[in-house]
Every structure is written in C-alpha cells, then in structure tokens.
Amino acid sequence: MKVVVEGTRALSFADGSPVRAASAIVSFGDGWLVVQDDATHAAWVRPSGITPVRVTDAVEGLDLFGEAAGTKHLKPDFEAACPIGDAALLLGSGSSPARMRGSLVRLDADGEPGFTGANLSRVYRDVAAAMGLTDQLNLEGACVLGDRLRWFQRANRAAGAPTVSVDIDLETLLATFEGRDRKVTIANVRRYALGDVGGVALGVTDAVPAGDGLVLVSAVAEDTSNAIDDGPLAGAALLLLDDEGVRDRGLLSAKVEGLTFAGTTLLAVVDADDPAAPSQQLTLKVTY
C-alpha cells in the first residue's frame, strides 16, 4: 500500500482555541464533524469556518476534561463516528462506565445541529462478552457495512487485549436512541494479527468501508499498560482487512485516530495527545 500525504491543516475554532484530541471524522451537513474525545462538543468543519457542536450533556457541569485537572475519568471519550443517513453516530470507547454512551447528531429543519444521547452500557457489556474480554475494553473504530455495524477493539498486548471485531445489528442499536432498549444481535467475531512496531502491538483506532467487503483501518502502536492512559508512540499504519486478516498495509508517521472518505480521497485526523495543540487534519492519497 502506498500512502501519500497531500495536505495538512491545523484545526482551530473561530476564537482561536484548538480542536482537541481528534478521535473521529464523519461527513455532516456541508462539511465534516471532527470528534474530540475529551469534550462534550465536536468541531463542525465547514467552508465558512469551524464551529462547536454539542454532542452530549455536560458532565458534573464540565464540558472539557483532562488529566491535569483531575477530570479525565469523567470524559465521554467518543472514539468512533459513522454516517447514518444524514446523521452522525458517535460511540464511546467503553473503557469505563462513563464511556459507554452513544450520541446521534443530526440537523433539524432549520439546519441547526442537535443530538440524542443514549446509555449503551448493556450493549457494551454484551460486546465485551462476545470478544472474551473481562476488562480492558477499548472500542475505537467502527464502520457501517450494510445493515451491520462492525466495531473494533483496539489491541493492547501488554494488557492481554487482542484486536477483535464484531458485527452488530444496526437497526436494533439505533432503536436504543428512541427509548426502545432491545438486546442487540452480535455475530462474526473476528480476531486479527496486525503485527507490531518495535515490539508494541498495532491496535485499530478507526475503520472505514473500502468496497467489496474490505475495511480500511488506521492503527497505532502505543506503549501503554491499560485502556485508559496514553503512552509513547512506537509507530502507526493503515491496514486493509478482509475476512481472513491483513491484505495490505502502509506506514503512517502520525497518530491517526479518525478516517473518512471524501470521494476517492481519504481524510484523517491526528490526536497530538496535547490539549493545547490543535489537532491536524490530513488529506491522504492511498493506493492498494
């Protein structure tokens, strides 16, 4: 796989504050919704500028969270985003009870954004059980394939957590946002050997459909002992997956955490692990 960076853009809001901890990017209205994993707002990147969009309620009166402030444990930690018609589905990582929520963000008749939140703890527990995980759940990548959501566990070999994906029934999941709490159907548990960089296992950070049943994922090798804390980055890659495993791969030089296609161009967002530094949006040309 050949990966060429054709453009780089630092993301900041109109008031100059940085778009923090970008963890996903998804088409939304006339632009893109960039998810911040340590905030209750996403960034709506449009031709006219970048504006905040609330995607969940404040937590204990807070909208921003961080380790320095002692509030990291409160963050909703939205790590995956998928287009659902004209809406965007945001999903927490599930790495703690506070992070087992979803948000369905859509525009109203006047073009104003709003959200519907849902407690998905039952879904997360069922997914963890299907993956064989008793702890270290960390779901960071998801994509829609037909009537299913394919959801990826980010590997952490040091903590005994492999790379795993499951398919869940999308209609049943979305029913939860309408107040109909139904048990989701989980199928097609797949385990992957993605390789490592410098002895640190690669783990999936996002996923997008690539046609013909293939899925393109971003993956990073981050040296950390658990699903909560950041660690030194040993390397990153794009991987093309089929039902049997890795079909192709290409190296990345940045901690890409979100992917989306804009036609044949791949857009990616980078988490700098620094709340004072603007997240980067990359334009990539990928050949495989």
Check which CATH number belongs to the domain holding 126 and give it.
2.120.10.100
pLDDT tens, 235-267? 899 999 998 899 999 999 899 999 999 999 999
Answer yes or no: are the C-beta atoms of 233 and 222 closer than 8 Å. Answer: yes
**Taking 60 as the threshold, does the pLDDT of residue 161 lie above it?**
yes
pLDDT tens, 29-64? 999 999 999 999 999 999 999 999 999 999 999 999
Q: 51-60, 187-196, 221-230: which has the highest mean pLDDT?
A: 51-60
Mean pLDDT of the chain, nearest integer:
93
pLDDT at 197: 85
List 83's β-bridge partners, or say none: 88
Top pLDDT among 24 and 155 is at 24
Q: Tokens 């923090």 identify what position?
A: 20
The lowest-confidence range among 43-57, 86-100, 117-131, 210-224 is 210-224
Give the whole-number percent of the chain exceeding pLDDT 70. 96
| Number of domains making up the chain | 1
- Confidence band (pLDDT; 50, 70, 90) for 66? very high
Provide the domain limits for residue 220.
Answer: 2-287
Buried b (16+ CB within 10 A) or exposed e, 178-191: eeeeeebebeeebe
Mean pLDDT, residues 11-22 taken together: 96
Mean pLDDT, residues 88-108 taken together: 97
